Chain A
Amino acid sequence: MLTLDRVTHTYTTPDGRPYCAIENISLSIAGGAFVAIVGPSGCGKSTLLHIAAGLLAPASGLVRVDETPIAGVNRRAAYMFQQDALLPWKTVRENVALGLVLAGVTSEDAHARANDWLGRVGLTAFASHYPSQLSGGMRKRAAMAQNWILDRDIVLMDEPFSALDVHTRQQMETELLSLWDDTTMRPRRLNKKTVIFVTHDLEEAIALADEVVVLSAGPGAHIVAHHQVTLGRPRDLLDLRTDPAFVDMYRSVWAVLRDEVVKSRGAVRD
């Protein structure tokens, strides 16, 4: 269980004025839940994720994992960034094995486990390639393997697929769901991972998540609504978007999000 308790964060703008990015956000995410956070661009979604990851200390408020407040980097979480975060000077295999090597696993062992994961994400043939030699979709697959191999309980994802073309993106979403659904790789634990998925794309949010959290426009973004997604699982993402239940869901969440998007445009114009 990941809990954000009245989290507020304020930046100092380049001209020295304080800018309140997020204000008083409280959110509890049950273990094994897939939660999507949507909101207009610039509303502080990434800030929220950075705070949950422990990469950024909130101005006030607490982040707790199973009742224990985090101090510094959140060791229970993996973080998949929007930008490519593979180390360009390491091969795909070395990248996937990196987290294990950092944890002190011998490189032989780490590489063997990395090979398993490369097989799961279909990159066995590219194990010795460098990231610059891969396509965008392959790099995302490698990044997923790199994060999943650590088997952390929480996975934070910051618009991970936003740079991909529509088809590759849908394919990656499908692969993400099948990784998340598949608990066979976690023999000692029955639970799925807890996923927090930040996106500006409401369709993506509804298609993937159990719950969609809508953030308001900034400054001082706060939570305006929670929506439970009642679509069953497993979901077929190819046909889901035309499913009447999906369309209804989309319409009701969009009604809320739309207002915030309009507000954020107004704020820009000011």
Chain B
Amino acid sequence: MLAWQIALALAILALWQAGVALRLLDPFFFSRPTDIARRIATWLVDGTLVRHLFVTIEESLLGLLVGAALGIGAGFALARAPMAARVCDPFIKMLNAVPRVVLAPLFLLWFGLGIWSKVALAVTLVFFVMFFSTYEGVRSADPILIDHVRMLGASERQLVRHVLVPSALTWIFSSLQTSLGFAMVGAVVGEYLGATHGLGYVISQAEGTFDTTGVFAGMTVLALVVVIVSVGVSRLERWLLRWKA
């Protein structure tokens, strides 16, 4: 499988390179795979890559942590309080419908050019994914399991701990992949719109000088990071949900 995947990637890169060499594609607009690779290597050597990537990852992780904490907390609270859930329902839907790009300038004003405006943007994306998974997870807990554990002598708190939390966790873990992707999107979009560091900043600087090689190099690094992280997350997910058949 991996061999086929690598073969496909190489084929696309070769086509791209050949297209530029045969003058079917203009290198000004499309750059070249070899140039992009060289640029990434340069960044690696001069430390640009590590410096900016570190900032982006830091923002994404903080966004993921804060967004997950708030989303899971709110999901739990509302799942346990149906009345409050009904009251909040339209507001949650409205907030979730707000395009995040229009929030970015506001966050820049509120939280400044540093990492926190990006973290805030990532939080607004992660929060809703985590909120909806937790809410559904708690509410879809099997009523028979709840009755059963009550009969075994569980208090309300033990019920939450032994049934509701694990039941919600299966949903939360399943949405971890999406949440992580969203956290990175939030961080990069935030950087793109105004920052002094980060991959989004690098890409936007490159665009500002019509440096397509820089833009593609930035995108490539971002894509590679997402692939590596998602392999890690699937491993983690498989381990955490190992009890599933």
Contact = CB atoms under 8 A, between A and B. Distances in A.
Interface of A: 53, 55, 73-75, 77-79, 81, 83, 85, 87-91, 98-99, 102-103, 130-133, 146, 150
A75 B148 contact: no
A53 B228 CA distance: 52
A88 B151 CA distance: 17
Contact of A88 (B147, B153, B155, B244): B244
A133 B152 CA distance: 23
B150 A88 contact: no
Contacts of A146: 152
7 contacts: A55-B147, A55-B151, A77-B151, A79-B151, A130-B242, A132-B243, A150-B153
B147 A87 contact: no
A174 B162 CA distance: 32
A239 B144 CA distance: 35
Contact of A85 (B148, B166, B242, B244): B148
A79 B158 CA distance: 18
Contacts of B166: 87, 89
Given A79-B147, A85-B145, A87-B145, A102 B153 contact: yes
B149 interface: yes
Contacts of B155: 102
Contact of A75 (B153, B162, B170, B242): B153
B150 A55 contact: yes
B57 interface: no
B113 interface: no
Interface in B130-159: 144-145, 147-155, 158
Interface in B65-92: none
Contacts of A150: 152-153
B155 to A, nearest CB: 8
A88 B162 CA distance: 11
Interface of B: 144-145, 147-155, 158, 162-163, 166, 169-170, 242-245
B148 to A, nearest CB: 4
A96 B50 CA distance: 51
A219 to B, nearest CB: 23
Given A102-B158, A132-B243, A132-B244, A87 B163 contact: yes
Main SS at interface, chain A = loop
Contact of B151 (A53, A83, A132): A53
A81 B150 contact: no
A88 to B, nearest CB: 6
A131 B162 CA distance: 15
A56 to B, nearest CB: 9
Central interface residue in B148, B152, B166, B170, by most chain A CB within 10 Å: B152
Contact of B162 (A53, A83, A87): A87
What are the nearest 3 A-B pairs in CB distance?
A85-B148, A132-B245, A130-B243
Contacts of B169: 89
B153 A81 contact: no
A265 B67 CA distance: 56
A73 B145 contact: no
B153 A99 contact: yes
Contacts of A74: 151
A2 B185 CA distance: 62
Contacts of A53: 151
Contact of A102 (B144, B154, B243): B154
A85 B162 CA distance: 13
B171 to A, nearest CB: 12
Given A87-B162, A87-B166, A102-B153, A81 B244 contact: no
Central interface residue in B149, B153, B154, B244, by most chain A CB within 10 Å: B153
Nearest to B165: A89
Nearest to A53: B151
Given A74-B151, A130-B242, 14 more contacts: A55-B147, A81-B148, A85-B144, A87-B149, A89-B170, A98-B152, A99-B152, A102-B149, A102-B153, A103-B153, A132-B243, A132-B244, A146-B152, A150-B153
Contacts of A77: 151
B172 to A, nearest CB: 13
B151 A78 contact: yes
Contacts of B153: 75, 99, 102-103, 150
A75 B150 CA distance: 9
